[in-house]
């Protein structure tokens, strides 16, 4: 009962509201569990020294907001589903706070982009000054809507061996914007969109905004379950399939070449488009060759989205799209109406980075450092085999970990970790239905050195131990 005690003094907010807010907080923070019975009305009224009707009002409010279910003759119970939805908010609030300077003393396994510490500010400064000296105000005015021509040409030359026309490349402000822009150009209300299950939460939100009908197809170890997809395709018109080709977020899974070929064939047969989100393909540790869907795309079925923020600098919002010929104009218009154009100066800086070979050097350095962390992390995770299972991604910046049955759910794990100064990403962020994914969590090593990896995993192990 002690946890229900709440300060009811002061004017303004009515007492029943204060009580409801307090209980909501307890549920959000998992101090009241899903399905846990709330105290009987009379008992809580006594405890808090209020009228019964105040508690009735508080419980009614909780129910109306999806935080409780009242069962006639039995009492009122805390509700879990909405907890998960609220948890998503809570999670992003925590993670947002973390990125501010104040909270740097967490061990952060929630990162999504390469650490800025691995980036040389002095060489960045050199490049930016060179660009300003070379281009003057020209560097600071509007670009063509497509983006800076020099950068588009460099992308074509250095990343695609001149195989895509630079006119088909559109510079965007990061991959998230890429997904948003493609959605606006491609997806209408009630269109069917297929995603991997689980998938990147930011993409789910964008598709939801477009009021698309999102269909999740289970991931297997070599990519999406294409038999399952074909069943769906036979019954429904699908507009597009959103996939991450390498080191999928969150699972770390990459597509086999067989699945790549088959999915491309299916796109032609069933007339849909593939949105390929190239998330982290620069960081391959197991020697596999990098072959994108786009590079195999003979029928112009792939919309390729590349983020530079993940491996270059997250604060520099840059990425690009390659659009099929048919959507080129739509996608360009979509960009203009979204934010006119992407900042010009940084496009020129990145261009010079690529042309001067600094990009290549940076990627090489990232590969060396992260490969070491990856191996270290893998070994440390293997020492947790009593508690978790995981798949080896072979590249990228994270592991997707499955908690052994009955041990603890990952939201609860999140709260316990946060308390102990460790940040993880619970699986529920990556599913359409927030009831799913509770047995998974994602651990990223992008922001953690070997010492923090060891320490952080040690803390997690202790939490697991206590659960047993």
* Sole binder of a copy of itself in the list 27, 44, 174, 437 (CB under 8 A): 174
Closest CB 61 distance from a copy of itself, rounded Å = 17
Three-state secondary-structure class, residue 220: strand
Query: 452 CB contacts (<8 Å, ≥6 apart)?
Result: 107
Neighbours of 434 (CB within 10 A): 19
Please say whether the dihedral angle defined by the alpha carbons of residues 204, 179, 373 and 416, taken in this order, is positive or negative: negative
Residues numbered 110-129 forming contacts with a copy of itself, rule: CB under 8 A: 113, 116-117, 119, 121, 124-125, 128-129
Determine whether 4 is exposed, middle or buried from the number of CB atoms within 10 Å of its CB (0-12, 13-18, 19+).
middle
Candidate list 143, 166, 249, 292; residue touching a copy of itself; CB under 8 A: 143
Q: Is 231 in the site for a copy of itself (CB under 8 A)?
A: no
Q: What is the DSSP letter of 225?
A: -
The mark string for 91-110 relative to a copy of itself (x by CB under 8 A, - otherwise) is -x---xx-xxx---------
- Each residue 344-373 as x (binds a copy of itself by CB under 8 A) or -, in order, gives xxx---------------------------
- Enter the tokens of residue 416: 């316990």
In Å, how far from its chain's centre is CA 17? 34
CA 455 to chain CA centroid, nearest Å: 24
- Residue 300 within binding range of a copy of itself, rule CB under 8 A: no
Q: From the CB of 112, what's the least distance to a copy of itself, in Å? A: 9
Nearest approach, Cβ of residue 113 and a copy of itself (Å): 7
Residue 407 binds a copy of itself (CB under 8 A): no
Pair 159, 311: CB distance under 8 Å: no
CA distance 13 to 21: 10
50 to 89: interface string for a copy of itself, x by CB under 8 A = ---------------------------------------x
Provide the minimum distance between the beta carbon of 257 and a copy of itself in the complex, in angstroms, as a whole number. Answer: 32
Among 302, 313, 384, 457, binds a copy of itself (CB under 8 A): 313
- Of the pair 53, 340, the CB lying nearest a copy of itself is at 340
Out of 18, 184, 301, 373, point to the residue binding a copy of itself (CB under 8 A): 184
Residue 67 CA to residue 59 CA, distance in Å, equals 9
> Which residue lies nearer to a copy of itself by CB, 258 or 340?
340
Tell me the sheet residues that pair with 275: 242, 303
Q: Which is nearer to a copy of itself, 60 or 123 (CB)?
A: 123
The answer to whether 452 and 107 are in contact (CB under 8 A) is yes
- Cα 309-160-240 angle, rounded to 5 deg: 70
How many amino acids of this chain bind a copy of itself (CB under 8 A)? Answer: 59
Cβ neighbours for 133, distance < 8 A, ≥ 6 positions apart: none
Token pair listed for 206: 């964008």
The conformation of residue 390, written as its DSSP 8-state character, comes to E
Which one of 137, 287, 298, 466 is in contact with a copy of itself (CB under 8 A)?
137
331 Cβ neighbours under 8 A, 6+ residues apart: 170, 181, 182, 185, 186, 303, 321, 323
d(CA 66, CA 87): 13
Task: Restricting to residues 317-346, name those near a copy of itself by CB under 8 A.
Answer: 317, 329, 333, 336-346
- Kindly state the smallest distance separating residue 98's Cβ from a copy of itself, in Å: 10
Q: Which of 139, 155, 233, 417 binds a copy of itself (CB under 8 A)?
A: 139
Residue number with CB closer to a copy of itself (337 or 462): 337
- C-alpha to C-alpha distance for 432 and 435, rounded to whole angstroms: 9
Confirm or reject binding of residue 234 to a copy of itself (CB under 8 A).
no
The two tokens of residue 242 are 């959103």
Q: Which stretch binds a copy of itself (CB under 8 A): 40-48, 144-152, 370-378, 392-400?
A: 144-152
Tokens of 116: 């800025």
- Site of interaction with a copy of itself (CB under 8 A): 89, 92, 96-97, 99-101, 113, 116-117, 119, 121, 124-125, 128-129, 132, 136-145, 149, 173-174, 176-177, 180, 184, 189, 202, 205-206, 209, 211, 309, 313-317, 329, 333, 336-346
């Amino acid at each position: 009962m002690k946890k229900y005690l709440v300060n009811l003094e002061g004017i303004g907010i009515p007492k029943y509201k204060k009580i409801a807010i307090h209980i909501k907080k307890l549920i959000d923070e998992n101090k009241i569990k899903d399905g846990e019975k709330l105290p009987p009305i009379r008992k809580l009224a006594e405890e808090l020294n209020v009228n019964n009707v105040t508690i009735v009002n508080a419980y009614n409010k909780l129910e109306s907001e999806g935080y409780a279910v009242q069962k006639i003759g039995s009492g009122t119970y805390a509700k879990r589903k909405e907890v998960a939805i609220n948890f998503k908010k809570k999670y992003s609030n925590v993670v947002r706070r973390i990125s501010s300077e104040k909270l740097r003393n967490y061990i952060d396994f929630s990162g999504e982009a390469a650490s800025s510490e691995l980036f040389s500010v002095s060489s960045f400064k050199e490049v930016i000054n060179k660009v300003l000296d070379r281009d003057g105000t020209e560097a600071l005015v509007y670009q063509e809507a497509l983006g800076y021509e020099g950068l588009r040409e460099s992308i074509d030359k250095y990343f695609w061996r001149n195989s895509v026309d630079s006119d088909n490349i559109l510079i965007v402000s990061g991959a998230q914007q890429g997904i948003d822009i493609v959605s606006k150009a491609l997806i209408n209300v009630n269109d069917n969109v297929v995603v991997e299950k689980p998938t990147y939460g930011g993409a789910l939100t964008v598709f939801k905004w477009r009021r698309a009908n999102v269909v999740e197809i289970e991931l297997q170890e070599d990519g999406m379950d294409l038999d399952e997809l074909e069943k769906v395709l036979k019954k429904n018109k699908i507009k597009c399939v959103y996939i991450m080709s390498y080191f999928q977020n969150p699972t770390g899974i990459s597509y086999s070449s067989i699945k790549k070929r088959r999915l491309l064939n299916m796109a032609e047969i069933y007339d849909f488009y593939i949105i390929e989100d190239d998330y982290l393909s620069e960081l391959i540790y197991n020697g596999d060759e990098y072959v994108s869907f786009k590079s195999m795309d003979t029928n112009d079925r792939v919309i390729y989205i590349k983020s530079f923020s993940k491996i270059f600098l997250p604060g520099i919002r840059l990425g690009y799209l390659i659009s099929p010929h048919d959507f080129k104009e739509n996608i360009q218009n979509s960009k203009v109406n979204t934010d006119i154009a992407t900042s010009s100066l940084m496009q020129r800086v990145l261009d010079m980075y690529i042309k001067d070979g600094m990009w290549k050097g940076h990627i090489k350095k990232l590969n060396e450092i992260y490969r070491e962390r990856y191996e270290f992390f893998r070994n440390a995770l293997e020492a947790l085999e009593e508690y978790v299972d995981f798949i080896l991604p072979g590249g990228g910046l994270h592991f997707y970990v499955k908690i052994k049955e009955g041990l603890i759910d990952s939201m609860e794990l999140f709260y316990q970790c946060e308390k102990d100064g460790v940040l993880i990403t619970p699986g529920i962020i990556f599913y359409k239905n927030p009831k799913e994914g509770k047995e998974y969590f994602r651990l990223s090593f992008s922001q953690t050195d070997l010492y923090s990896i060891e320490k952080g995993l040690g803390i997690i192990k202790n939490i697991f131990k206590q659960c047993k």
